[in-house]
Amino acid sequence: MPSIRTSLALLAAASAVAAAPLVISASFKPKPGSSDYFSHYRGTITPYPGYEREPIMATTDGPPGPDDVLFQNLLSAEWAIFSFYQKGVEMFDTESFTEIGFPETTYERIQEIRNNEAGHLVLFRDHISSNSMKPGPCEYQFGFKDAKSFIKVLTLLEIASMAFLTGLVQQAKTNATRGALVAIAETETRHETWALLDLWKVNPFGGPSDTSFPYANQILYTTNQFIVPGSCPKENPSYPYPAQEIPQFTYNAHTSSPLTSGTEVQFVFTTPPPAWEDGREYYAVFFHGLQNVTMPFDTVKNTTTIPDFEVNKGLIVGVIADTPGAPYKESVIAGPVLLIEQPTGAIKMNK
């Protein structure tokens, strides 16, 4: 058995890892993969690099890297995700979740995910070449007020992240970027699976494939609703770039429940709707798994029918298009909307 002195030393070492860094040091710059910091840190103090708030300007002249724009978009999105988790760590504690019926490990897992997202900030910054600037964070408002609503937003964000990562992979110019995105997606999948299985007690299996959506920037554009207007660093590039500033909509939760195959769903525009052309057909196009199914869209009632998908689990991404199948991004004239089939208590992305 270890001596009392050895046991105390081990306890002190463990406590030091859990509490670090109590003092922010300019030389403290751990690297994901070379440090266990992004897995083991525990605490409410903002972890590295979350406290580095300023954009990093280009330090060399020359053409941007082939995937610099992709990683700029991803870094901007990651600042929002990291800020969400950091806010949750600061607002809540273990009892915040146990008293509403979630497992005792919930708060610890949230800290671990926060750490993973901090590591993603480092990875995405490092993948932007020195010829391009690295965006800094904005201020964000996610709308949660208590632990239960925080978990709902958490689940939505994790499910949504998988859909836009499938689109980003299709944008990548290099194999190295594609590999990096798949590696990040594997970690995000663990976050999503934990939320579904441990918190919501639902089967996390959603069929043989998660939903692939080709137009990542359309999903990223919907996340602008979380950014406090005017709060982004003036040096930041527009987000996302390039952006389709197309009408946004959600679904009528009172007339469109449950979100299952064969049921009618009514869309509610949260911005001015498209200018419908008389006599022209418009379509609701649904992406689920690797399927792409087109349904008629009623521009008077704003209604359509969810296709007869075999598995009523996971995520459906819906858009309104002027061409069956929405074969290219310009054919999408409104959306997207995320229809989460499970857990049924998840909130809507488009408020």
Q: What is the pLDDT of residues 220-279, one digit of tens each?
A: 999 999 999 999 999 999 999 999 999 999 999 887 777 888 899 999 999 999 999 999
DSSP state for residue 316 in the 8-state scheme:
E
How many Å apart are CA 103 and CA 151, to the nearest integer? Answer: 12
Please return the burial class of 183, using the count of CB atoms within 10 Å of its CB with bins 0-12, 13-18 and 19+.
exposed
pTM value is: 0.90
- Give the pLDDT score at 258: 75
Domains of the chain: 15-226 (1.20.1260), 249-340 (2.60.40)
One-letter identity of residue 168: L
How many Å apart are CA 41 and CA 18, to the nearest integer? Answer: 5
Helices (H), the chain: 4-19, 37-40, 68-91, 94-98, 106-126, 147-171, 175-194, 216-222
Query: Which of 1-10, 54-63, 245-254 is most confident?
Result: 54-63
Asked if residue 346 has pLDDT above 90, the reply is no
